[in-house]
Structures are given as structure tokens and as C-alpha cells.
Amino acid sequence: MFDSFFNLDIPGEVISSLIVMLIIIILAIIIAIQAHFQDPLKKPKGLLLIAEIGVQFFDNFVKDLTGSALPNFGGFIMGVATYLFIAFIFGLTGLPSPVTYMAVPLSLGLTTFLLIHLISAKFTKWGYFKRYVDPIPVFLPVNLLSMWAPLLSLTLRLFGNAIAGWALLTIVEFSLRDASAALFSFIPSEWNQVFLAPIPLALLHAYFDLFSGLIQTVVFISLTAIFIGQEIPEELTINTLQERRN
């Protein structure tokens, strides 16, 4: 039994994803402990201050896009953004990035897809099914196909950008190793491949893992909030904007 468990062929990206989630859990526990012992009359510091700024930012971010009809939705968006950004920069460790494994972007996209329909059903009740026959019943097949557009858009955009960066980094790495081996062939083969790769790869990692990772995280959470905000009745959104102006 234990032999079969340890012989499971688990992709490295899945293990990386579990490590990312473990990191987030540890950070959450540390922040919770700090919050428990924090003096409410003193200004928070360190991780607690960062967490407080993050909560305020994502709450305002969600209110701007969806209104106040979903008061706890900022926490969900913050959790997704934290996981996604750490998953992108996880490639800096030399381990595979979780986002380059199709199951991870698909899972995130599927979560948003399910939330879209659950929230729509929550606010429209039985009127939810009307979306499939608008403007006339003959459009039912078209509407059934178009309902998958957010899932495909979020998943393929995230996976495509991640895998493109990974592919380019891999090509550049092998090219630089071969060029280094050719230029420094007088050095033993164990060492002659390492001279040209470090600086160019460091710069590319800084772009694809840090900058591009941040951009893709912002795009994903923005589209998630927009797609879900479209399912909230317009009158609730208008009332929210009027309350904020007052």
C-alpha cells in the first residue's frame, strides 16, 4: 500500500502548487497569531500591516467592480491573487511553476465559472434560466455554447502566457548552455555550460516571473470580478455607487 503511494507519478507542478498553498497557510497562521495579540491602540507592523493594507485594497477593488452586494468577496479575490502571484514567481526557485500545468489554470477558471452561475442564480432565482433563451428561445444552442466563454478565456489566457514564458526560457537556457560549452570547450564539461546563462536568464526570469506574473494576476482577478459583477442586478450596483458618492 505504502509502496504504491510513494510510486505515484505526481507532476512536479502539482507538488509546487501544494508548496505554494502551504506557504500561504503558514503566512495566514502567522498573521492570525499577530492579529490576536496586536494592541488595537497601536499601529500594526510587518506582515500584519501588509495584510491590513491588502484587505483594504481588495475590498475597495471589489466594491468598484461589483458594488457592495458581495461584502466578503474581497477576501476570495485576495486569496486568488496571492496564490496566483506566488505561483508565478515560484519559478524563481528553480522548481516548476504551478501555472504551467494546465490543471491549475483550469481549476482557477472553473472556480470563477461556477461562481458566475451560482451568484447569478442567487440574485435572479428562477430568472437565471431566462439567460439561456434570450432574446428568443431559438437562441438556446448559441447561449449554451457562449456560456463557456469566460472559462475558456480565463484558462487559456493564463495558461498560454505561462507556458509561453516557460518555453522561451527553456529555449534560451539550452541555447546559452550550448554556446557556453562551445566557447569554453577547454574547460571540463561539468563547468563549461554555466558561463553565459546566468545573467540573461536572470533578466528573463525577472520579466516573465515577476512583471508578467503580476500583470497576469491583475488581469485574472479583474476579469473574475467583472464577470461576476455582471451577474449582479443593475439596481444594486447603482445604489452602491450612490451610497459611496454620498
Running along the chain, 246 residues long, what does each successive block of 10 average in pLDDT? 51 88 93 87 85 91 82 89 92 84 92 91 81 78 84 91 85 79 70 70 78 90 90 65 52
pLDDT of residue 208: 77
Let me know: does 104 contact 18? Beta carbons within 8 Å. no
Question: What's the whole-model pTM score?
Answer: 0.83
How far apart CA 156 and CA 176 sit, in angstroms, is 30
| DSSP summary character for residue 209 | I
Map out the domains of the chain as residue ranges: 11-245
pLDDT of residue 4: 40
Let me know: does 224 contact 96? Beta carbons within 8 Å. no
- Centre a 10 Å sphere on the Cβ of residue 4 and count the other Cβ atoms it contains: 7
How far apart CA 66 and CA 230 sit, in angstroms, is 8
Let me know: does 216 contact 165? Beta carbons within 8 Å. no
